[in-house]
Amino acid sequence: MQRATDEQQAIIQAPLDRHMKVVAVAGAGKSTTMVQRLLWMAQEGVNLSRVLVIMFNRAARLDFEMKVKRYIPGDEPQPRVRTFHSLGFQLCQRFIKARMLSKRRLVDSDGWAEKLARDCLLEVLGEPQGHPCNPFRPGIPEELLGFHDVVKSDLHSPEECFASRGMSDSLRAFLTAYPALEAMMHREGLRFYSDLIYEPVTLMRDNPEALALVTNRVDYVIVDECQDINPISQVMLHQVAGSRAWVTAVGDDDQTIYEFRGATPSFLINGFDQLYPDPLDFKLTRTFRYGHAIAAAANHVIRHNQARVPKLNVAGEGNPASRIDLWMDSPTAATRTHERPLIRHLLEQQRQGKPLRDTAILVRVFSAASTIELQLLEERIPYRFEGGESVLHHRHTEGLLAVLRLADDSLWTLPVQDQVEALLRFLMLPHPGVAHHLLRDLAARIVRNPQQLGPAFDNTLLQVKETYRGRLAEKRPLLERLIATTERDTARLLGYFLQETDCLHRVKEDAPRPRVGKEDRERLEAVQRFCVAHGGDCSEVRAHIDTLAGREPMSEDDDAVLLTSVHRSKGLEWPTVIMPDLSDASFPYVREGVALDMEAERRLFYVGMTRAQERLILITPHDRDLAIATRGCYGRSLSDVGLGKHDQASHFVYEANLHLSACIAKACEGDPSALRRLPPLLDVHTANAYLAASGSGQRLTPNQTAGQERHAS
């Protein structure tokens, strides 16, 4: 085990009879520090079997257990390492044995959960057609399940959660559906994963005998990633610790990125201190992941947040030098895939024989991955797509592909069941709001007798509420024209279909949330561009997509670039990280010109950029102002320009102050002349704090004659 820094040593040998709060920057080695503290505690006579360690997820739990076993012999007492969900499951089992909770099955698949939500909405609504919470509308069952989890993440009422989340009035039926879903789960003897924490917590809150079975049974509790635990988990922690256990909270408020699950940075900032008075406060400010350029830029970004524990992120001694590249990419219709900077970079990596697994592409939302995934497929660059649904297998892509299959008559050569599925996807794009079983039955009727479209539609329309008949009926003449057409030009076929159905507008408007609608539209547009760019003949385009979709997905053992979201990257690192699509309309995520939560978006950007070890590549649209601001080492205030513009670089790229960060890095690496080449600066506070903390011996002097709009840090 590597030698501990002074900051780490203070934590390792901290008094045993105090609560502790450890705020650690990205890559600071907090897990290793906690293992070393456990070793020291054992040496001081602590029985480690009376120590509970709670990790954020299963992967982190397994990794921590491996580290513990590496340094603590198996014949000696071992700490209990859990996640909140595994701890909740253990408590449920204990309460079931004590006859305080009923034994129930765990709903362990998304499909099962969505069916329950759909059945519940059908029970509540009676006749769902025409209702905004129609369970056959794409995304509605998932939305109800998400609301259910939000309620279970706290101890507030469904009404309070609905209001605090600012949910649309169109989803107000969820307030009736929530208790109905709870009743259904009890009748059928089922539990969701969220119940594993919620049920034991509420039981212990209401039943002192249940609480007595659990509380005050351990001497120490260590909680990792404390910034991302939601209120219900905080209550469970307090119940388990009781008045006996000394609690250590470890995390980084600047990396709070699970607000949608109920987490807030406030728990680590001041909430912990209220539950566990007078804790010892520690900071781990030295990162062992990346060099000065990334560390300095990360400080320049995150310092703009108000809700945070003040701290610097400083590259440790011996870290490899890091660099940040800024690429501007505003493709035209004539731009070939291999000319795009991201693809050009990966192709060059392949030619040089460099491992692709050393590179991760991190996107803000998965719809932004669609264009990139299609480019990777086109250039045969091996990749793994983690956390989302491949664009080639998305229902909207399959719907557009069905249009091409109808036009070139290849649909009728598929196996019968595949014909039904293809027609079903066609009928669902855009979704007419009709029950899934009715659409499937209609597709099957058409497959049995394509010449009898009229009777097939008429039979189905009789079973559809009048409100939705028009949307389904309009698909009949469209289907007839596609079957009879001699048109083979992909651009004209898709353009005709999208215009006749008003598809791009409808998929956006029909989505349960504006964010989902925006992503669905962007995905459709990406697939349309790909199809049109590939060539004219629809048969060739369709065959090409079939070939791409039939390829085996890459595994973790394959040498492939990783394509995933910033949320999914939490806790991971790669030599090279690429963050594409950094416009002021995509990162921060903007809806109707307003960022949903600027500080939350900034934390997410900070997490993304601190996944890189050696090289961080930021890709923005061509933005002349950014080039000028970068050279001049000044940023841009929110009042300078409105958000939501696709042709302007992300606000956070401005804040990163890339030229100043690069000069700071050079000074820290032994080139004092780098700072002398800087333009006049007004605000040098953060820059000087970093130079001092890194021991460079350099210092910047503010120039009061510099333009008042310029700020260095």
Q: What is the pLDDT of residues 225-250, one digit of tens each?
A: 999 999 999 999 999 999 999 999 99
- pTM: predicted TM-score of the whole model, two decimal places: 0.88
Question: What is the structure's pLDDT at 1?
Answer: 61
Question: What is the structure's pLDDT at 706?
Answer: 35
Residue 373 vs residues 106, 136, 526, 549, 564: alpha-carbon distances, Å: 35, 29, 10, 12, 10
Which residues touch 319 (CB under 8 Å, ≥6 apart)? Answer: 287, 288, 289, 290, 291, 292
Residue 251's SS3 state is strand
Question: What is the structure's pLDDT at 672?
Answer: 81
Distance between CA 223 and CA 679 in Å, rounded?
A: 45
Domains of the chain plus CATH, in order, are 6-95+198-284 (3.40.50.300), 108-188 (no CATH), 314-368+379-386+558-694 (3.40.50), 395-550 (1.10.486)
Helix (H) or strand (E) run with residue 599 in it? helix 598-609
The residue ranges of the chain whose pLDDT is under 50 are: 593, 639-640, 704-713
Cα-based torsion angle of the residue sequence 362, 367, 373, 375 in order, rounded to the nearest 10 degrees:
-110
Angle at 349 between CA 348 and CA 351, to 5 degrees: 60
Q: Are 278 and 16 in contact (CB under 8 A)?
A: no
Residue 502 per-residue DSSP state: T
Q: Is the peptide bond before 231 cis (omega within 30 degrees of 0)?
A: no
Q: Are 102 and 189 in contact (CB under 8 A)?
A: yes
Distance between CA 428 and CA 361 in Å, rounded?
A: 31
Q: Are 229 and 263 in contact (CB under 8 A)?
A: yes
Which residues touch 69 (CB under 8 Å, ≥6 apart)? Answer: 78
Q: Cα 470 to the chain's mean position, in Å?
A: 37
Distance between CA 37 and CA 55 in Å, rounded?
A: 16
Question: What is the structure's pLDDT at 624?
Answer: 84
φ, ψ (nearest 5 deg) of residue 612: -80, 140
φ, ψ (nearest 5 deg) of residue 556: -65, -20
Question: What is the structure's pLDDT at 713?
Answer: 46
Q: Are 566 and 364 in contact (CB under 8 A)?
A: yes
3-state helix vs strand vs coil in the chain, percent to 5: 50, 10, 35
